[in-house]
Amino acid sequence: MKQQPQAFIFDMDGLLLDTEGVYQRSWSAAAAALGYDLTDQIYMTLIGITIADCEKRLVKQFGENFPLEKFRNDARTRYEAIIDAEGIPLKPGVHAALDWAAERNIPCGVGTSTATEEARDRLKRHAMLDRFSIVVGGDQIRRGKPDPETFLKVAQALVHPPEHCLVFEDAHSGVLAARAAGMSVVLIPDLLPATAEITAQASGVFPSLQHAVDWLSTLPKSGR
């Protein structure tokens, strides 16, 4: 990336909201209650993809007899109990990134594997929903990340071509989706560390959104 982007596209879980750890706790506990060991290694393969794709991988991992409906219901109950008790904190630098975009009239959208209404509700709880022009959830697309469909749909709604968009991601599948869409992407790792392969696909790897926008400030402004 040689100049500042004209549109921002954000992932949500693990990037804007600190939810990945909550998912892991609730999913691992639900699996354990059914007699299955959802290890850290297995969970890492589920980060950044749709719930439907997660469930397919769990069935492939544990076999056709894996009680998916019982797991799904128990995991949801445990997840809701955790967030009711503890809330969902924002990741560091979220407001800094959104303020940076607003000061430069850069439109922002969200492209997430979470269902749209659930994503909108979470953003609303943090008084952030009105800061995004569009939220595209996993229920609006046919093919989840690493397919580019999610991000292309956001870019279309923002009325900006892919090459003018910058994606912010924490998941490897999201980085690959952004690159497949023809977009620049920065990685802010959460539970899943950056690999050499993924780092090579990203314009930068940063510890937080604040660090990412500090870097963007060093780039020349785009000609609109």
Which of 63, 41, 68, 37 is CA-nearest to residue 52?
A: 68
Cβ density class 31-68: b for 16+ within 10 Å, e for less: beeeebebeeebbbebbbbbbebbbeebeeebeeebee
Q: Describe the crossing of helices 68-86 and 20-33 by its angle, rounded to 10 degrees.
A: 130
For 183-223, write each residue's pLDDT tens digit: 999 999 999 999 999 999 999 999 999 999 999 999 998 76
Cα 9 to Cα 110: distance, rounded to the nearest angstrom: 5
The pLDDT assigned to 29 comes to: 98
CATH architecture of 7-18+90-216: 3-Layer(aba) Sandwich (3.40)
Beta-strand relationship, 134-136 and 184-187: unpaired
The pLDDT of residue 1? 84
- Using a pLDDT cut of 90, give the percent of the chain over it: 94
Q: Which pTM was predicted?
A: 0.91
103-147 residue pLDDT tens: 999 999 999 999 999 999 999 999 999 999 999 999 999 999 999
Report, as an integer, the average pLDDT of 75-87: 94
Q: What single-letter DSSP state applies at residue 107?
A: -
Higher-scoring residue by pLDDT: 73, 50: 73
